[in-house]
Amino acid sequence: MKRCAALHQSLRTFWNISHAPQKIICKSTVLNQFSQFRSQYSTHIPASGDISGKQAITEPLKHPDFFKVRQLVSVKDLYNNRVHFGHKDGSRNEHMQPYLFGNRLGTDIFDLDITIDHLHRALNFVAHIAYLKGIILFIMKSQQFGHAVETTAMTCGEYAHTRDWHPGLLLNMSEQGGQIRLPDICIFLSLQDAVNQQHLAVAECGKLKIATVGICDSNVNPTMITYPVPGNDDTSESIDLYLRVFQQAIQIGKQKRLEYDRQLQPKGVASF
């Protein structure tokens, strides 16, 4: 009789699980995986007290090019991927003038020597943030490149926002409920939201102490972007180049961090 009861109970639990609404199971499993993944990558390093953590932060900062991001992209790559094309001179923003090489028959041309320097700086910054386990958010309001941006963010374990930006999305923290962590930096692949309008997230990042990296075409205002990269943001080739390069920089940063964490761990303990 005892056996029978146990069997009956186990059968009942099985029945419950298998007949539970499928949505709930999916959501919970996904959330579990998600939280596991984040626990690996996004825990803040204690800024004081832990000596090993401190050393991990300060050591790469002394090196001029710790992650070797300068090898990722050259001027020729930029030229072949049409980064030098700007907009027509009528739509030029006055603050983009120092980044321009000249004007060829009405079309602005970027100076790629300036662009490569800014891009290397931005890549170094992004790699450092990935090394420090910060959250990176890719932002681009575009129907054409939205999917590419989202897949790139997914492959390097970060986040993307490519849809309509609801005003105050980052600012209404109190209304969201629960524990929410804001992104540490935002990467803008295009600064334009609609036609001739700056992306709303630029101002929100400024309010919330979030540093920004942004691709600035010749018709946008680059002054509020922390690490601006002057370049074309309208062709698929150039966007592919930016995505590839940023993804590699993030992956290099994370890989270096994993290696460092493994060195610190005592032997015999499984790393998770």
Binder of other proteins out of 69, 115, 162, 228 (CB under 8 A): 228
Binder of other proteins out of 89, 193, 240, 261 (CB under 8 A): 89
Question: For other proteins, which is the closer residue by CB, 82 or 121?
Answer: 121
> Taking the CB of residue 117, how many other CB atoms lie within 10 A of it?
12
Q: Which stretch binds other proteins (CB under 8 A): 12-20, 189-197, 206-214, 240-248?
A: 206-214
Binder of other proteins out of 148, 225, 239, 250 (CB under 8 A): 225
Residue with tokens 């390069």: 245
| Among candidate residues 172, 152, 149, 184, the one with its CA nearest the CA of residue 43 | 184
Question: For other proteins, which is the closer residue by CB, 227 or 242?
Answer: 227
User: Considering only residues 168-187, where is the footprint of other proteins by CB under 8 A?
Assistant: 173-174, 184-185
CB-CB contact of 33 with 39 (8 Å) = no
- Where do runs of H (alpha helix) occur along the chain? 2-19, 22-41, 51-62, 75-80, 112-131, 146-155, 173-176, 200-207, 236-264
Q: Which stretch binds other proteins (CB under 8 A): 27-35, 68-76, 141-149, 221-229?
A: 221-229
Interaction between residue 83 and other proteins (CB under 8 A): no
Q: CA-to-CA distance for 253 and 112, rounded, in angstroms?
A: 25
Binder of other proteins out of 27, 88, 104, 163 (CB under 8 A): 104
Q: CA-to-CA distance for 186 and 232, rounded, in angstroms?
A: 19
Tokens at residue 260, please?
């460092």
Q: Which stretch binds other proteins (CB under 8 A): 9-17, 226-234, 242-250, 259-267?
A: 226-234
Q: Which stretch binds other proteins (CB under 8 A): 5-13, 15-23, 29-37, 97-105?
A: 97-105
Q: Which stretch binds other proteins (CB under 8 A): 72-80, 157-165, 217-225, 258-266?
A: 217-225
Closest separation between CB of residue 15 and other proteins, Å?
45
| Among candidate residues 249, 253, 211, 233, the one with its CA nearest the CA of residue 115 | 233
User: Considering only residues 106-165, where is the footprint of other proteins by CB under 8 A?
Assistant: 108-109, 117-118, 121, 124-125, 128-129, 132, 134
CB-CB contact of 88 with 213 (8 Å) = no
Interaction between residue 40 and other proteins (CB under 8 A): no
Buried b (16+ CB within 10 A) or exposed e, 3-37: eeeeeeeeeeeeeeeeeeeeeeeeeeeeeeeeeee
Interaction between residue 95 and other proteins (CB under 8 A): yes
Mapped to the 3 state alphabet, what secondary structure does 195-242 carry?
A: CCCECHHHHHHHHCCCEEEEEECCCCCCCCCCEEEECCCCCHHHHHHH
Interaction between residue 61 and other proteins (CB under 8 A): yes
- In DSSP terms, which residues pair with 108 in a beta bridge? 103
Interaction between residue 215 and other proteins (CB under 8 A): no
| Interface residue list for other proteins (CB under 8 A) | 44, 47-48, 57-58, 61-62, 89, 92-95, 97-98, 100-104, 108-109, 117-118, 121, 124-125, 128-129, 132, 134, 173-174, 184-185, 203, 205-212, 221, 223-228
